[in-house]
Structure 1
Amino acid sequence: MTRDIVRSAKAPSSPFFSQGVKAGPFIFVSGTVGTDPSNGQLAGDSIRDQTRQALTNCEAILEAAGTGLGDVVEVGVLLGNPSDFAELNEEYARWFPQDPPTRYVAKLGVDLPGILVSIRMTAFIS
Protein backbone atom coordinates (compact mmCIF):
# COMPACT_ATOMS: atom_id res chain seq x y z
CA MET A 1 0.00 0.00 0.00
CA THR A 2 1.26 3.45 -0.85
CA ARG A 3 1.04 6.45 1.42
CA ASP A 4 0.94 9.92 -0.12
CA ILE A 5 0.95 13.27 1.65
CA VAL A 6 -1.90 15.56 0.61
CA ARG A 7 -1.21 19.29 0.45
CA SER A 8 -3.52 22.21 -0.31
CA ALA A 9 -2.50 25.85 -0.60
CA LYS A 10 -6.13 26.67 0.23
CA ALA A 11 -5.85 25.34 3.80
CA PRO A 12 -3.54 26.18 6.72
CA SER A 13 -0.46 24.00 7.08
CA SER A 14 1.97 23.15 9.87
CA PRO A 15 5.45 21.70 10.07
CA PHE A 16 4.17 19.39 12.84
CA PHE A 17 1.66 17.33 10.82
CA SER A 18 0.46 16.65 7.29
CA GLN A 19 -2.78 18.29 6.17
CA GLY A 20 -3.86 14.92 4.88
CA VAL A 21 -2.60 11.48 3.99
CA LYS A 22 -3.89 9.22 1.24
CA ALA A 23 -3.46 5.54 2.07
CA GLY A 24 -5.06 3.08 -0.33
CA PRO A 25 -8.65 4.21 -0.92
CA PHE A 26 -8.70 6.35 2.25
CA ILE A 27 -7.97 10.05 2.76
CA PHE A 28 -7.24 11.05 6.36
CA VAL A 29 -7.56 14.79 7.03
CA SER A 30 -5.75 16.08 10.11
CA GLY A 31 -7.52 18.06 12.81
CA THR A 32 -8.12 21.43 11.18
CA VAL A 33 -9.08 24.66 12.92
CA GLY A 34 -10.93 27.72 11.68
CA THR A 35 -7.89 29.65 10.47
CA ASP A 36 -8.30 31.57 7.23
CA PRO A 37 -5.27 30.60 5.09
CA SER A 38 -5.38 33.93 3.23
CA ASN A 39 -4.36 35.89 6.33
CA GLY A 40 -3.40 33.30 8.96
CA GLN A 41 -6.04 34.60 11.37
CA LEU A 42 -9.02 32.85 12.94
CA ALA A 43 -12.12 33.35 10.78
CA GLY A 44 -13.96 34.89 13.72
CA ASP A 45 -14.63 34.52 17.38
CA SER A 46 -17.89 32.58 17.08
CA ILE A 47 -18.25 28.82 16.88
CA ARG A 48 -20.20 29.19 13.63
CA ASP A 49 -17.47 31.26 11.95
CA GLN A 50 -14.72 28.89 13.04
CA THR A 51 -16.74 25.77 12.17
CA ARG A 52 -17.47 27.13 8.70
CA GLN A 53 -13.79 27.90 8.10
CA ALA A 54 -12.60 24.56 9.52
CA LEU A 55 -14.99 22.74 7.18
CA THR A 56 -13.85 24.92 4.27
CA ASN A 57 -10.26 23.98 5.09
CA CYS A 58 -11.11 20.27 5.29
CA GLU A 59 -12.93 20.49 1.97
CA ALA A 60 -9.87 22.11 0.32
CA ILE A 61 -7.65 19.28 1.57
CA LEU A 62 -10.10 16.67 0.28
CA GLU A 63 -10.19 18.41 -3.11
CA ALA A 64 -6.38 18.37 -3.24
CA ALA A 65 -6.65 14.60 -2.80
CA GLY A 66 -9.13 14.32 -5.66
CA THR A 67 -12.28 13.84 -3.59
CA GLY A 68 -14.88 15.85 -1.72
CA LEU A 69 -17.32 15.95 1.16
CA GLY A 70 -19.55 13.38 -0.53
CA ASP A 71 -16.90 10.70 0.10
CA VAL A 72 -16.47 11.49 3.81
CA VAL A 73 -17.33 8.49 5.99
CA GLU A 74 -16.26 9.79 9.41
CA VAL A 75 -15.84 13.17 11.09
CA GLY A 76 -14.25 13.92 14.45
CA VAL A 77 -14.96 17.23 16.16
CA LEU A 78 -13.14 18.65 19.17
CA LEU A 79 -14.88 21.56 20.90
CA GLY A 80 -13.16 24.05 23.16
CA ASN A 81 -16.45 24.71 24.92
CA PRO A 82 -19.05 21.92 25.01
CA SER A 83 -21.83 24.52 25.38
CA ASP A 84 -21.15 25.43 21.71
CA PHE A 85 -22.55 22.05 20.60
CA ALA A 86 -25.94 23.33 19.34
CA GLU A 87 -24.39 26.12 17.26
CA LEU A 88 -21.78 23.71 15.89
CA ASN A 89 -24.60 21.41 14.78
CA GLU A 90 -26.43 24.24 13.01
CA GLU A 91 -23.41 25.04 10.82
CA TYR A 92 -22.43 21.38 10.39
CA ALA A 93 -25.92 20.51 9.10
CA ARG A 94 -25.47 22.99 6.25
CA TRP A 95 -22.43 21.01 5.04
CA PHE A 96 -23.97 17.55 5.44
CA PRO A 97 -27.72 18.09 4.90
CA GLN A 98 -28.52 14.47 3.96
CA ASP A 99 -27.02 11.12 4.91
CA PRO A 100 -24.23 12.63 7.05
CA PRO A 101 -21.11 10.61 7.84
CA THR A 102 -20.53 9.03 11.21
CA ARG A 103 -19.29 11.56 13.74
CA TYR A 104 -17.98 12.01 17.23
CA VAL A 105 -17.70 15.20 19.27
CA ALA A 106 -15.42 15.53 22.30
CA LYS A 107 -13.89 18.30 24.35
CA LEU A 108 -10.66 19.77 23.02
CA GLY A 109 -7.94 18.48 25.34
CA VAL A 110 -5.56 21.42 25.09
CA ASP A 111 -6.18 25.10 25.70
CA LEU A 112 -5.33 26.95 22.51
CA PRO A 113 -6.14 30.66 22.81
CA GLY A 114 -9.08 31.62 20.60
CA ILE A 115 -9.52 28.14 19.07
CA LEU A 116 -13.09 26.95 19.50
CA VAL A 117 -13.14 23.88 17.24
CA SER A 118 -10.93 21.37 15.45
CA ILE A 119 -12.35 19.05 12.81
CA ARG A 120 -10.81 15.92 11.24
CA MET A 121 -12.23 13.65 8.54
CA THR A 122 -11.79 10.32 6.82
CA ALA A 123 -12.96 9.84 3.25
CA PHE A 124 -13.19 6.65 1.21
CA ILE A 125 -12.71 6.71 -2.54
CA SER A 126 -14.16 3.65 -4.24
Structure 2
Amino acid sequence: MKKIIFTDKAPAPIGPYNQAVLKGNTLYTSGQIAIDPKTDELNTENIQIETQQVMENMKAVLDEAGMTFENVVKTTIFIMDMNDFAKINSVYATYFNEKTAPARETVQVACLPKNVNVEISMIAIL
Protein backbone atom coordinates (compact mmCIF):
# COMPACT_ATOMS: atom_id res chain seq x y z
CA MET A 1 0.00 0.00 0.00
CA LYS A 2 1.28 3.46 -0.82
CA LYS A 3 1.03 6.41 1.55
CA ILE A 4 0.45 9.93 0.25
CA ILE A 5 2.69 12.57 1.81
CA PHE A 6 1.35 16.11 2.11
CA THR A 7 2.46 19.15 4.08
CA ASP A 8 1.21 22.72 4.04
CA LYS A 9 4.86 23.76 4.56
CA ALA A 10 5.47 23.08 0.86
CA PRO A 11 3.43 24.27 -2.13
CA ALA A 12 0.20 22.42 -2.79
CA PRO A 13 0.17 20.43 -6.01
CA ILE A 14 -1.00 22.40 -9.05
CA GLY A 15 -2.32 19.35 -10.89
CA PRO A 16 -3.37 15.72 -10.46
CA TYR A 17 -0.37 14.59 -8.42
CA ASN A 18 0.90 14.55 -4.81
CA GLN A 19 3.93 16.13 -3.17
CA ALA A 20 5.32 12.66 -2.50
CA VAL A 21 4.39 9.01 -2.28
CA LEU A 22 5.87 6.61 0.26
CA LYS A 23 5.92 2.97 -0.87
CA GLY A 24 7.51 0.64 1.65
CA ASN A 25 10.63 2.44 2.81
CA THR A 26 11.07 4.45 -0.41
CA LEU A 27 9.86 8.03 -0.88
CA TYR A 28 9.27 9.36 -4.38
CA THR A 29 8.86 13.13 -4.49
CA SER A 30 7.29 15.21 -7.18
CA GLY A 31 9.38 18.02 -8.56
CA GLN A 32 9.44 21.16 -6.48
CA ILE A 33 9.64 24.66 -7.89
CA ALA A 34 10.23 27.96 -6.10
CA ILE A 35 6.71 28.66 -4.87
CA ASP A 36 6.74 30.13 -1.36
CA PRO A 37 4.09 28.06 0.48
CA LYS A 38 3.30 31.00 2.80
CA THR A 39 2.33 33.34 -0.05
CA ASP A 40 1.76 31.00 -3.01
CA GLU A 41 4.00 33.36 -4.98
CA LEU A 42 7.09 32.44 -6.98
CA ASN A 43 10.37 33.30 -5.29
CA THR A 44 12.57 33.87 -8.36
CA GLU A 45 14.52 37.03 -7.49
CA ASN A 46 17.72 35.31 -8.66
CA ILE A 47 18.75 31.72 -9.37
CA GLN A 48 20.34 31.21 -5.93
CA ILE A 49 17.20 32.36 -4.08
CA GLU A 50 15.06 30.31 -6.44
CA THR A 51 17.16 27.19 -5.80
CA GLN A 52 17.09 27.76 -2.04
CA GLN A 53 13.27 27.99 -2.11
CA VAL A 54 13.11 24.73 -4.08
CA MET A 55 15.37 23.00 -1.57
CA GLU A 56 13.41 24.37 1.41
CA ASN A 57 10.20 23.08 -0.18
CA MET A 58 11.84 19.69 -0.62
CA LYS A 59 13.06 19.78 2.99
CA ALA A 60 9.46 20.28 4.15
CA VAL A 61 8.28 17.26 2.15
CA LEU A 62 11.13 15.12 3.48
CA ASP A 63 10.35 16.28 7.04
CA GLU A 64 6.70 15.31 6.64
CA ALA A 65 7.83 11.81 5.63
CA GLY A 66 10.14 11.59 8.66
CA MET A 67 13.27 11.93 6.54
CA THR A 68 16.16 14.32 5.95
CA PHE A 69 18.49 15.01 3.05
CA GLU A 70 20.67 12.20 4.42
CA ASN A 71 17.92 9.77 3.30
CA VAL A 72 18.05 11.00 -0.31
CA VAL A 73 19.62 8.51 -2.72
CA LYS A 74 18.79 10.11 -6.08
CA THR A 75 17.94 13.59 -7.34
CA THR A 76 16.98 14.99 -10.70
CA ILE A 77 17.55 18.66 -11.46
CA PHE A 78 15.80 20.26 -14.41
CA ILE A 79 17.17 23.66 -15.41
CA MET A 80 16.28 26.13 -18.12
CA ASP A 81 19.84 27.35 -18.72
CA MET A 82 22.93 25.20 -18.21
CA ASN A 83 24.85 28.44 -17.63
CA ASP A 84 23.11 28.57 -14.22
CA PHE A 85 24.49 25.15 -13.24
CA ALA A 86 27.34 26.42 -11.01
CA LYS A 87 25.05 28.80 -9.10
CA ILE A 88 22.38 26.13 -8.63
CA ASN A 89 24.99 23.59 -7.59
CA SER A 90 26.51 25.95 -4.99
CA VAL A 91 23.13 26.22 -3.21
CA TYR A 92 22.23 22.55 -3.69
CA ALA A 93 25.58 21.51 -2.16
CA THR A 94 24.78 23.23 1.15
CA TYR A 95 21.97 20.72 1.77
CA PHE A 96 24.12 17.58 1.46
CA ASN A 97 27.21 16.09 3.03
CA GLU A 98 29.58 15.71 0.07
CA LYS A 99 30.74 12.26 1.25
CA THR A 100 27.17 10.89 1.37
CA ALA A 101 25.56 12.99 -1.37
CA PRO A 102 23.00 11.22 -3.57
CA ALA A 103 23.35 10.15 -7.18
CA ARG A 104 22.09 12.87 -9.52
CA GLU A 105 21.47 13.97 -13.04
CA THR A 106 21.01 17.52 -14.26
CA VAL A 107 19.23 18.22 -17.50
CA GLN A 108 18.53 21.38 -19.43
CA VAL A 109 14.93 21.58 -20.59
CA ALA A 110 12.95 23.79 -22.96
CA CYS A 111 10.36 24.93 -20.40
CA LEU A 112 9.30 24.31 -16.79
CA PRO A 113 5.98 24.90 -14.99
CA LYS A 114 5.20 28.58 -14.41
CA ASN A 115 8.33 29.41 -16.46
CA VAL A 116 10.64 28.83 -13.48
CA ASN A 117 14.37 28.28 -13.93
CA VAL A 118 14.85 25.16 -11.82
CA GLU A 119 12.84 22.14 -10.63
CA ILE A 120 14.17 19.33 -8.44
CA SER A 121 12.78 15.90 -7.57
CA MET A 122 14.18 13.26 -5.24
CA ILE A 123 14.03 9.64 -4.19
CA ALA A 124 14.76 8.88 -0.53
CA ILE A 125 14.96 5.68 1.51
CA LEU A 126 14.33 5.19 5.22
TM-score normalised by structure 1 residue count: 0.92
Kept in 2: contact 1:45–1:114 (CA 8 A): no
Query: Counterpart in 1 of 2:90?
Result: 90
Matches within 5 A, 1:7-26: 7-14=6-13, 15-26=15-26
Relative to structure 2, which stretch is displaced further, 9-18 or 25-34?
9-18
Judged with a 3 Å threshold, the aligned counterparts in structure 2 of structure 1 residues 112 and 67 are, in CA distance, closer, same or farther, namely closer
| SS at 1:74 equivalent | strand
Gaps of 5+ in 2: none
Matches within 5 A, 1:1-126: 2-14=1-13, 15-98=15-98, 99-125=100-126
| SS at 1:31 equivalent | coil
One-letter code of the match for 2:107? Answer: A
Relative to structure 2, which stretch is displaced further, 75-84 or 101-110?
101-110
How large is the RMSD of aligned CA atoms in angstroms?
1.3
Offset, 1:111: 4.7
Offset, 1:112: 4.1
Identify, as 1 or 2, the structure richer in helix: 2
Kept in 1: contact 2:112–2:119 (CA 8 A): no
One-letter code of the match for 1:90? Answer: S
Percent identity between the two aligned chains:
28
Kept in 2: contact 1:75–1:104 (CA 8 A): yes
TM-score normalised by structure 2 residue count: 0.92
Alpha-carbon displacement from aligned partner over 1:67-90 (angstroms, at most 9, x marks no partner): 111100001000011110010111
Kept in 2: contact 1:50–1:117 (CA 8 A): yes
Alpha-carbon displacement from aligned partner over 1:27-75 (angstroms, at most 9, x marks no partner): 0110100111101111233111111010110110011111111100001
Judged with a 3 Å threshold, the aligned counterparts in structure 2 of structure 1 residues 122 and 112 are, in CA distance, closer, same or farther, namely closer
Kept in 2: contact 1:108–1:117 (CA 8 A): no
1:27 & 1:46 partners in 2: Cα distance?
29
Kept in 1: contact 2:75–2:122 (CA 8 A): yes
